[in-house]
Amino acid sequence: MTASLRSSSTVEVHSHTFPAISRIPNGETFPGCASTGLGSASPSRPRSSSARHASYVISGWSLQESAQVTTARSTSLPQGNRRPSNPRAAASHSSEVGSRLPSKRANAYALHQFTAIGDMIFSATKHGGQLPAVADVSRRIGISADPGAPGVAFQQAWQSWLAGKKRLRPSARERLEQIGQHWLIPVLAEVPAERLNGGHCAAVFERIERINAEIAARSVDSRALVRVDDEVRSRPRLVGVASQHRVYAALREFCNFEVRKTRRMSFNPVYAIELEPEEREEAQRWSAEQAAHFLATAADDPLGLLFRIVVLRGARRAEVCGFRWSRADLDAGYLAVARTLLLVGAHVIEGERKSQAGERKIWLDEHTIALLREHGKQQLAARLAAGTAWQDHDLVFCKDDGTPWKPDYVSRRFKAIARAAGLPVIKLHEGRHSAASLARDAEVDPEIRRKTLGHADQAMTSHYTHIEAQAHRAAAEAVAKLVEGDGS
């Protein structure tokens, strides 16, 4: 069958209206109807010569053109719209009428959309299947997507998105997988991705708040491991504001991908959520005296030399665990950062440097170089003692059988030595902050500090640098002395 479509606009299915579609001109046919063979299409009588209203019934679906679009035809224009005889008025009138005429591109687009709707109806019903939800078809038409496309649930869309991120570091991939498993999929798994809205996103954070409330209430009564209903983590603990912001960021990135790439969404619903602001405390640092006390306490520990390089030179944990003898030149005075060791789940894996700036040389002082030479001799003796049990990974810092130290153990041991030394217990990464700050106290050139830490820009190095209270007091005294003189 064919049908002559006389005016423009939107499609209404069972009293639901699709977003506006451009007008189809008089005399053209609806090829989608012809392909379906689902019955006749009966256009209603036009309401006027300037605005048409046509209704087509196809297999129980009412395709209703509801927008009123003016059709400018000189033969049918009302008397009030006749072309004025005055040349200047006539030119203005022609411009106004021309602006209401549909473009060829709009007509072609409309034909394509009507064809797609007809084909969708035919494909969905030819074997007794169900028609897609009107809201879904409306949404797809609005973003120029296939109206008959199968819906994709959030869980499938999330996993596909994650699988496509080929350049992710293993640790970043593990973090996103945990966010999906712990917080997103338990709430959104079966939600069609194209229907995801602000209410669904809010439910994710409402669940987090409920779990936090239950953990807090039960922790008061018992020191035993808390078990919470609907909790998938093996060891439930409070989810802080920073962690909630990471969940928010992951969901935002996923939804942006759906809007811009797959076009299953027309907008990002995450922006309907407002979280409590994240307020990060400034990282702690050790003074020169505290750093010296720590290094003296750690000197005889198997990891003491590793900690020395962290505190004095600011190497990252993954970098210092992954130093290789083959990339070291003690005669020149450096260890080179090329590969890293990362803890992903329960496994230690080899990874790439964090950034291009991260591939660098860590220059060392004479005492550290001498300690490394002695460390190399001790490692050779351990290798001979281990015999065939030795596993050669070419690591500068390893266990007595050549296997790597687990990064999480390195962090725990750092805190244990600090606690035993009676020092403020800081994180291993804050040892890196201490190194940056001590270099500033020693008046090391800012560019050298940046390259030593492996930062891409000076702003990040400044973030790692923390000035001691004594320096702030000295600055205050200097300013007062300048203004008021020595008598202040």
pLDDT along the chain (488 residues), means of 10: 37 39 38 36 38 33 35 38 52 49 59 65 66 69 64 92 89 91 94 92 94 81 60 81 94 95 90 89 89 95 96 91 93 89 72 69 93 95 93 92 92 96 94 91 88 82 76 77 71
DSSP H helical ranges for 84-133: 87-100, 104-125
CA dist 238 and 135 (Å) reads 39
CA dist 453 and 53 (Å) reads 71
Domain covering 288-472, topology: hpI Integrase; Chain A (1.10.443)
Contacts 24+ apart (CB under 8 A), 166-175: 169/342, 169/351, 169/352, 169/354, 170/342, 170/344, 170/349, 170/351, 171/342, 171/343, 171/344, 171/351, 174/344, 174/345, 175/246
Of the CA atoms within 13 Å of residue 379, those in its CB half-sphere come to 23
Of the CA atoms within 13 Å of residue 138, those in its CB half-sphere come to 16
CA dist 166 and 158 (Å) reads 14
Q: What is the pLDDT of residue 101?
A: 47
CB 79 within 8 A of CB 49: no
- Dihedral, 13, 15, 19, 24 alpha carbons, nearest 10: 60
Q: Which helix (H) or strand (E) holds 351?
A: strand 347-352
Q: What is the pLDDT of residue 347?
A: 73
CATH 3.30.1150 fits 154-272, yes or no: no
Q: What is the pLDDT of residue 391?
A: 93
**Prediction pTM value:** 0.60
Q: What is the pLDDT of residue 104?
A: 62
**Residue of 189, 290, 280 lying closest to 243 (CA atoms):** 280
* Count of C-beta atoms within a 10 Å radius of residue 248: 20
Q: What is the pLDDT of residue 142?
A: 65
Q: What is the pLDDT of residue 149?
A: 65
CB 256 within 8 A of CB 263: no
Domains 154-272 and 288-472 share a fold: no
Q: Where are the domains of the chain?
A: 12-142, 154-272, 288-472
Residue 340, SS3? strand
Q: Residue 395: beta bridge partners?
A: 324
* Count of C-beta atoms within a 10 Å radius of residue 411: 16
Give the length of the chain: 488
Q: What is the pLDDT of residue 9?
A: 38
Q: What is the pLDDT of residue 130?
A: 67
CB 9 within 8 A of CB 56: no
Give the Cα-Cα-Cα angle 228, 229, 231 (nearest 5 degrees). 70
Q: What is the pLDDT of residue 150?
A: 66
CA dist 244 and 8 (Å) reads 48
The alpha-carbon radius of gyration of the chain (Å, integer) is 35
As given in the structure block, the two tokens for residue 311 are 């505190």
Measure the N-to-C terminal CA separation of the chain; round to a whole number of Å: 100
CB 20 within 8 A of CB 9: yes
By 3-state DSSP, what share of the chain in percent is helix, strand and coil, each rounded to 5?
50, 10, 40
Q: What is the pLDDT of residue 280?
A: 78
Q: Which helix (H) or strand (E) holds 58?
A: strand 55-58
* Count of C-beta atoms within a 10 Å radius of residue 430: 22
CB 120 within 8 A of CB 138: no
**Residue of 93, 250, 255 lying closest to 177 (CA atoms):** 250
Residue 246, SS3? helix
**Residue of 239, 157, 244 lying closest to 193 (CA atoms):** 157
Q: What is the pLDDT of residue 392?
A: 92
Q: What is the pLDDT of residue 305?
A: 96
* Look-up of token digits 């928010």: 248
